[in-house]
Amino acid sequence: MIKELLHITRRIGNDETHYYREFTNIDIEDLKKSIYNFSLYINMILDIEELSQKTS
């Protein structure tokens, strides 16, 4: 799932840099959502590691 999120984020970001857009139904707001969701995933991993250290 995370690989798919990163793949989509990369494709949207790449599309934003070109004059001709491959994905006309996706815009910068979708890129922002994707980046935000990835940051939530990173925070979740960090929280799990922190809790794991506290309980070991």
Domain region containing 29: 2-55
Task: Compute the half-sphere exposure of residue 7: CA atoms within 13 Å on the CB side of its CA.
Answer: 4
- What's the total number of domains in the chain? 1
Contact between residue 16 and residue 29 where contact means Cβ atoms under 8 Å apart: no
The mean pLDDT value for 29-36 works out to 91
Report field, pTM of the whole predicted structure over 0.85: no
One-letter amino acid at 50 equals: E
> How far is the C-alpha of 31 from the C-alpha of 12, rounded, in Å?
6
The mean pLDDT value for 18-37 works out to 86
- Which residue matches tokens 């707001």? 29
Percent of the chain with pLDDT over 90: 43
